[in-house]
Amino acid sequence: MDNVPDRWADLGEFIRQQRETARLSLRRLSEMAGISNPYLSQIERGLRRPSAEILQQIAKGLQMSAETLYVRAGILERDSGDQDVVRSIRTDPHLDPYQREALVRIYRSFLHENGYNEPDGSRAAAGSPLASEADDRR
């Protein structure tokens, strides 16, 4: 069983790291997320347990997937053995939000180019324009 206070401290630390990577002040992110500066500060320090709605607002301000914050908060379960490239890109603390989104767009364009649908890894249906374009290049 995981230690709940540690979970909130870990979540808060992750949010702080993402904010700093995005070069946003605490005040600016609180404005973008529509929450008070002191409340965001308490979340970052692990003193407050944010709701799913608040996490969604913070994720929007950070230009990242709300699912990432939901998993870190324990609201959603992490898929075991998950190899989701998009999730990995969107949670990389070494990239700023613009870099993350650019990599996601590039990754998805490569999937399209190779005849795959969105990041679930399924191929385009045989006979579809997407599949025939990929087959023509092979």
Domain boundary among the residues 73, 97, 116 is at: 73
Find the domain containing 91 and state its range.
85-137
Distance CA(97)–CA(128), nearest Å, equals: 33
Q: Is residue 104 part of a domain?
A: yes
Beta carbons of 39 and 8 less than 8 angstroms apart: no
Cα dihedral sign, 122-94-16-9: positive
* Amino acid found at 136: D
E strands, the chain, where? none
Residues 54 and 106 in one domain: no
Burial state string for 99-119 with b = 16 or more CB within 10 A and e = fewer than 16: ebeebbeeebeebeeebbbeb
pLDDT in tens, 97-136: 899 889 888 888 887 777 765 444 444 444 433 343 444 4
Which residue pairs from 87-90 have beta carbons closer than 8 angstroms and sit at least 24 positions apart in sequence?
90/64, 90/65
In a domain, 79, yes or no: no
| Structural domain includes residue 80 | no
* pTM for this model (two decimals): 0.57
Q: How many domains does the chain have?
A: 2
User: Are residues 97 and 60 both part of a single domain?
Assistant: no
Confidence band, pLDDT 50/70/90 cuts, at residue 4: low
Residue at 78 is within a domain? no
